[in-house]
Amino acid sequence: MMIKKDQKNIDYKDYINRISNEAIPAYEPNVGNEELELLKDVIKSNWLSEGKYVREFEKKLSLECEMKYSLAFNNCTAALITGMKSLGIGYGDDVIVQSLAHSADPNAISATGANPVFCEVNKDTLCIDIASIEKVITKNTKAVLHIALYGNTSNLDDLSAYCKDNNLLLINDCAPAIFGNFRGRSIASYGDFSTLSFFADKTITTGEGGMLLTNNPQIIAESNIYKHDGRKERGVDLIERKGFNYRLTELQAAVGVAQLKKSKFFIEKKKNNNLLYKSLLTNKNVKVFDFNDPKDIVPHRNVIFVPKAQPLIDYLVSKGVGARTLFMPMHSQPIYNTGEDFPITDELYNSGVCLPSAPSLKSSQIEYICGLINEYLS
């Protein structure tokens, strides 16, 4: 269905008007003098495409995520597409992915020529599990795409073993789960490859940006070719693949390196924010989502469940609070609209609310938000 130009303009103006009136935004990045100093260094060098800061950013995240190799991209979607293509995923292949997802996940699968097959989520984790996979697996299933939704994760040990036993590739979208761990191990260390996002609402940001991580040098080599327009590297004229221009800029990587230096502060604040929400939301009609292990997980968003999400969101927005829904289920999106029935996913979407989660949040702001919620639901 085509959307009229006038309607698109109205929708955009409504969006801008809404976020402009949010005294407490859903999220805001934390950037300052540290980023400015490194950006000045990049400008002085007069080298703005990939350079020393991109390589430093890659190296530091490889160590942080306990993977041997890393490759920077202009966004996480690009990392997903090239990673899957490097594994030979394409036409005729099915890739299982949960319906409760960002559109980047099924879109990336589709971009390789493969078919996204949606499945239900586990209500306790918001993530894919073995039971949901077994309901939709077919002879054409080549891979499982695990999503660490809002920073949480499924049982990755069991999932890894299942995929290995069934000759399935495991792709691990950790876009919101950087610095998160599962049983003492980096969430991003699981899978044939994993990906990170550095969009403006992530724990560390480069504005836009992504990373592919793996222990397989062949995946890195192939992904690097796809990333560089089908060439092995810039300056090489031989085109080996039908590739893309998915490079990160040196300016973005410099911001990322500066952000990494402040990561301990971001992690502590996001964990404390979640604990404060949990202690203050006392109304019996509110359930604060329980992440796996509060010591290991860094919450990407603070998620609560209420009888009906949208009326509460409208109320909070009217009070200047940047509340949001969960991701709209992919099986009901116009471009996919599979007609499938995923009652858990639909229930979570209809009852889930994402509350402000920036490290810059003050305790008084969280107290204000919780007071509004407790009063409204009473």
Dist. CA 246–CA 74, nearest whole Å: 5
For 327, list phi and psi in degrees, rounded to 5. Answer: -60, 135
Measured CA to CA, the distance from residue 81 to residue 329 in angstroms comes to: 21
Q: DSSP secondary structure string, 309-368?
A: HHHHHHHHHHTTB--EE-PPPGGGSTTT------HHHHHHHHHEEEEP--TT--HHHHHH
Reduced to 3 states (helix: H, G, I; strand: E, B; else coil), residue 245 is strand
How far apart (Å, rounded) are the C-alpha atoms in residues 100 and 314? 22
* Location of structure tokens 């301990």: 264
Q: Are strands 169-173 and 181-182 parallel, antiparallel or unpaired?
A: unpaired
β-partners of residue 117 are: 96
Q: Where are the beta strands (DSSP E) in 136-254?
A: 141-147, 169-173, 181-182, 185-186, 193-197, 210-214
Q: Amino acid identity of 260?
A: L
- The radius of gyration of the chain from alpha carbons, rounded to an integer in Å, stands at 21
Main-chain phi, psi angles of 350, to 5 degrees: -75, -20
Cβ-proximal residues to 370 (8 Å cutoff; 6+ apart), any chain? 277, 280, 281
Query: What are the structural domains of the chain?
Result: 33-260 (3.40.640.10), 263-377 (3.90.1150.10)
Tell me whether strands 115-119 and 185-186 are parallel, antiparallel or unpaired.
unpaired
Q: What is the pTM of this model?
A: 0.94
Contacts of 283 (CB under 8 A, 6+ apart): 373, 374, 377, 378
Convert the pLDDT of each residue in 325-374 to its tens digit: 999 999 999 999 898 999 999 999 999 999 999 999 999 999 999 999 99
Q: What is the pLDDT along the chain (378 residues), one digit of tens a residue?
A: 555 666 667 677 777 777 777 899 999 999 999 999 999 999 999 999 999 999 999 999 999 999 999 999 999 999 999 999 999 999 999 999 999 999 999 999 999 999 999 999 999 999 999 999 999 999 999 999 999 999 999 999 999 999 999 999 999 999 999 999 999 999 999 999 999 999 999 999 999 999 999 999 999 999 999 999 999 887 788 898 999 999 999 999 999 999 999 999 999 999 999 999 999 999 999 999 999 987 899 999 999 999 999 999 999 999 999 999 999 999 999 999 898 999 999 999 999 999 999 999 999 999 999 999 999 998
- Other Cβ atoms less than 10 A from the Cβ of 243: the count is 18
Tracing tokens 């690097």 back to the chain, one arrives at 224
